[in-house]
């Protein structure tokens, strides 16, 4: 879908909830004048028949016990999160909130090198404008992050590979974060591309690591490895890669055996003392919506897409480096 930036789109006349979703996809449409660039760079064989995104399961649940679930992101090659992911994630979050036996959920990845990455910039505009607001009244993405934080079960992010943008924001929304010392990379890359992060890291990071370090992460827009993430408080702990899974599994199994009501009550009181309010998260989303409309953001995303964002493994694996090349000299 192409959008002519010289003509009014009519989006300003719709509700703010639709505007939020619509604007998210305006950026690549303006910057790239359509989706041809991404299509041309795709490595898909000419005779391949891609499975419709609405049918491809990007998230799966493994119920290791009634009280302990693994939620695994499996959207190769980069675990990009897009509008097609949101309905699937909504179902997962609703199950987490309502299952009476669940006590612990661990988020992990089946895609080597990538925990969960940034939003998908290539789908048609209608794929996002058709999404309803979430239960909190926020756009579905920040809505689900808020609900994960407040769910009456313990959420743990097991980070092996890149957690950038949405991936970082999901990790921050989780109750605990554990990372591979060798393979984890966390980042909020958005400021480097000229816009504001939308999933709440401005509200969450200062509470975890203090104002100065939070600003370093957000404004530096660079990659943070597992050791530095632990030192800064971005994650609870980092482990040698071969020790990460055994530790997380043992902790999750241990907690899953405790009384559900005691877990929920304790978490609720900690949430009261530590979580940002929904309006704080909403303010970040509003700032994101305003910022992505600016010409500099449109230009920078276009430049990254030309470099290979979403298509080139090297660009996705070294996003901090490539974002740094956008800086004015």
Q: Provide the pLDDT confidence category of residue 109 given band limits of 50, 70 and 90.
A: very high
Residue 93 has pLDDT above 60, yes or no: yes
Q: Provide the pLDDT confidence category of residue 36 given band limits of 50, 70 and 90.
A: very low
Count CB atoms within 10 A of the CB of residue 145.
Answer: 25
Q: Provide the pLDDT confidence category of residue 54 given band limits of 50, 70 and 90.
A: low
pLDDT tens, 264-290?
999 999 999 999 999 999 898 888 878
pLDDT tens, 66-83?
999 999 999 999 999 988
Q: Answer positive or negative: Cα dihedral of 307, 166, 256, 178.
A: positive
CB 65 within 8 A of CB 39: no
In the chain, what percentage of residues exceed pLDDT 70?
81
In a domain, 47, yes or no: no
Q: Provide the pLDDT confidence category of residue 14 given band limits of 50, 70 and 90.
A: very low
In a domain, 44, yes or no: no
Q: Provide the pLDDT confidence category of residue 329 given band limits of 50, 70 and 90.
A: low
In a domain, 74, yes or no: yes
Alpha helices by DSSP H, 134-277: 140-150, 166-173, 201-209, 211-220, 226-232, 241-256, 260-274
Q: What pLDDT sits at residue 295?
A: 92
pLDDT tens, 170-223?
999 999 999 999 999 999 999 999 999 999 999 999 999 999 999 999 999 999
Q: What pLDDT sits at residue 175?
A: 98
Residue 50 has pLDDT above 60, yes or no: no
CATH number of the structural domain spanning residue 18: 3.90.226.10
In a domain, 2, yes or no: no
Written as six digits, the tokens of 50 are 């891609």
Q: Provide the pLDDT confidence category of residue 130 given band limits of 50, 70 and 90.
A: low
In a domain, 20, yes or no: yes
Q: What pLDDT sits at residue 124?
A: 61
Q: Provide the pLDDT confidence category of residue 56 given band limits of 50, 70 and 90.
A: confident
- Lowest average pLDDT, out of 54-58, 159-163, 240-244, goes to 54-58
CB 167 within 8 A of CB 189: no
pLDDT tens, 146-183?
999 999 999 999 999 999 999 999 999 999 999 999 99
Residue 29 has pLDDT above 50, yes or no: no
In a domain, 3, yes or no: no
Residue 101 has pLDDT above 60, yes or no: yes
In the chain, what percentage of residues exceed pLDDT 90?
70
Q: What pLDDT sits at residue 285?
A: 82
SS3 assignment, position 215: helix
Q: Provide the pLDDT confidence category of residue 51 given band limits of 50, 70 and 90.
A: very low
Residue 37 has pLDDT above 50, yes or no: no
Specify the number of domains making up the chain. Answer: 1
Q: What pLDDT sits at residue 64?
A: 97
SS3 assignment, position 282: helix
Per-residue pLDDT averaged across 237-256, rounded? 98
Q: Tell the burial category of 216 from Cβ atoms under 10 Å away from its Cβ (0-12, 13-18, 19+).
A: middle
Residue 22 has pLDDT above 80, yes or no: no
- What range does the domain containing 135 cover? 11-39+52-324
Output the pTM of the full model.
0.84
Q: What pLDDT sits at residue 55?
A: 65
């Amino acid at each position: 879908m192409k959008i002519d930036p010289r003509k009014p789109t009519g989006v300003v006349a719709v509700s703010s909830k639709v505007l939020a979703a619509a604007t998210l996809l305006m950026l690549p449409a303006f910057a790239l004048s359509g989706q041809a660039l991404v299509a041309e760079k795709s490595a898909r064989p000419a005779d391949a028949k891609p499975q419709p995104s609405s049918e491809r399961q990007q998230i799966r649940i493994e119920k290791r016990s009634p009280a302990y679930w693994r939620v695994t992101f499996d959207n190769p090659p980069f675990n990009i999160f897009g509008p097609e992911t949101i309905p699937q994630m909504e179902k997962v979050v609703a199950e987490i909130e309502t299952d009476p036996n669940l006590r612990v959920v661990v988020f992990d990845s089946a895609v080597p090198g990538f925990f969960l990455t940034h939003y998908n910039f290539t789908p048609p505009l209608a794929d996002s404008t058709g999404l309803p607001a979430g239960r909190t009244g926020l756009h579905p993405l920040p809505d689900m992050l808020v609900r994960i934080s407040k769910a009456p079960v313990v959420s743990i992010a097991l980070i092996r590979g890149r957690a950038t943008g949405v991936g970082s924001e999901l990790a921050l929304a989780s109750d605990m974060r554990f990372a591979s010392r060798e393979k984890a990379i966390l980042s909020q890359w958005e400021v480097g591309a000229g816009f504001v992060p939308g999933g709440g890291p401005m509200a969450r990071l200062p509470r975890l690591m203090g104002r100065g370090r939070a600003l370093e992460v957000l404004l530096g827009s660079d990659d943070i490895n597992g050791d530095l993430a632990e030192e800064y408080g971005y994650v609870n702990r980092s482990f040698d890669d071969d020790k990460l899974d055994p530790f997380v599994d043992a902790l999750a199994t241990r907690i899953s055996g405790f009384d559900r009501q005691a877990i929920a009550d304790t978490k609720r009181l900690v949430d009261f003392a530590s979580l940002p309010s929904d309006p704080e998260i909403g303010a970040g989303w509003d700032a994101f919506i305003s910022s992505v409309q600016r010409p500099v953001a449109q230009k920078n995303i276009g430049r990254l897409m030309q470099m290979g964002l979403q298509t080139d493994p090297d660009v996705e694996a070294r996003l901090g480096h490539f974002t740094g090349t956008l800086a004015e000299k």
